[in-house]
Amino acid sequence: MAGLLAANYRSAIVDRIKADDFTYRAGRLTVHLARSFGFCYGVERAVDYAYQTRKRFPDRPVFLAGEIIHNPHVNDNLRAMGVHFLSDDANAADRLGPRDVVILPAFGVTVAMLQQLERRHCTLVDTTCGSVLNVWKNVRRYAEGGWTSIIHGKVWHEETRATVSQAVEYGGRYLVVFDRDEAAAVCEYVRHGEAREAFLQRFARATSAAFDPDRDLQRVGLANQTTMLMSESIEIGEMLRAAMIDRYGEPSLGERFQAFDTICSATQDRQDAVVALLEEQHVDLMVVIGGYNSSNTANLARICAASRPTFHIADPDCLLSPTEIRHRPVGGHHEVTSAAWLPALGTVTVGLTSGASTPDNLVGVVIETLAKFCEIRT
């Protein structure tokens, strides 16, 4: 399937830009491309497996347990190939049988979903990313040792839902924290143990069944959704460590707190690359390409927005004209349309990156569209 994958997702212009020190110049436009961007190994593997599965089983129904990755372009291509999504029909899994082939996405699936598929005797193709499996290993280790897993992640995200199910399956407890503010509330409870009911209400949807903060926050182990912002995960770990020292004393720290680095290396590489781009290059604005439900893409936009005007776009169609762009603001929940986003006169320098679920062909179209817009406005 290598030829088909290359035709669908490679970009000649992106290959040329990589060879030209990750810089593109045309007329008044300069584009600086981050040195690490786009498809990571885990995503490439998952998409490759999905394509190969469709080819390997041409006469059998093929399903995806959920989106293969968080990119609508890739998912739509798979739908066009006749791959059905269980997430499109709440009852579809109940109708599966031995002839059906089910692909498990890069995020993994919950233990309950896996057991359901096994009961239906489906053929399973597992594309779960190795970085996700590493998180599961550590969460299981916490559970087996009687530690509560505190997971820096998004409680609604497929990966985090799969991870917490691993903790429960091995007899453990968990608490999911989204950001520093939620971590601070946990640290406050560790230190003082006050406002129990308010704590339970705040984290009602982010804790294991019968969670008891007085019991379950005495020994905690930190893990992460692999695509979270690395600097925030590190800070949350330090916050929890300090709270445990304040409550129990430093000599007891080894019995109270553990942490393993479970941020995916590809996620870290892309975050590091965009930080380097912002430090080394003058750019008028940043464009970040990737699905709006892509956690790693949203975090790239978050890094950029701290110092530059930043536009997180889902795909090239969001570039409406030299004067209008559709994008999702950092921290927002809905797409908006902004005007006067691209300087109309003079030179313009754009920084560009994309999330780990964004193929190069979309990056290439964005660059070509930017060049066209700048020619129009010259």
pLDDT tens column, 297-323: 999 999 999 999 999 999 999 999 999
Report CA 272 to chain centroid distance, whole Å.
Answer: 15
User: For the chain, where do the domains classified as CATH 3.40.1010.20 start and end?
Assistant: 2-40+265-377, 131-259
The pLDDT of residue 139 is above 90: yes
- Which entry of 159, 197, 250, 368 is annotated as an active-site residue? 159
Indicate the CATH number for domain 2-40+265-377.
3.40.1010.20
Q: What is the mean pLDDT of the chain?
A: 93
Q: Which residues pair with 312 in a beta bridge?
A: 288, 328
User: Residue with structure tokens 């019995």?
Assistant: 255
Any residues with CB less than 8 A from the CB of 2 and at least 6 apart, and which?
Answer: none
User: For the chain, where do the domains classified as CATH 3.40.50.11270 start and end?
Assistant: 41-129
375 has catalytic annotation: no
226 near 264, Cβ under 8 Å? yes
Domain 41-129 indexed as CATH 3.40.50.11270? yes
CATH architecture observed for domain 131-259: 3-Layer(aba) Sandwich (3.40)
pLDDT, tens only, 47-92:
999 999 999 999 999 999 988 888 888 899 999 999 999 988 888 9
- The β-bridge relationship of strands 23-26 and 29-33 is antiparallel
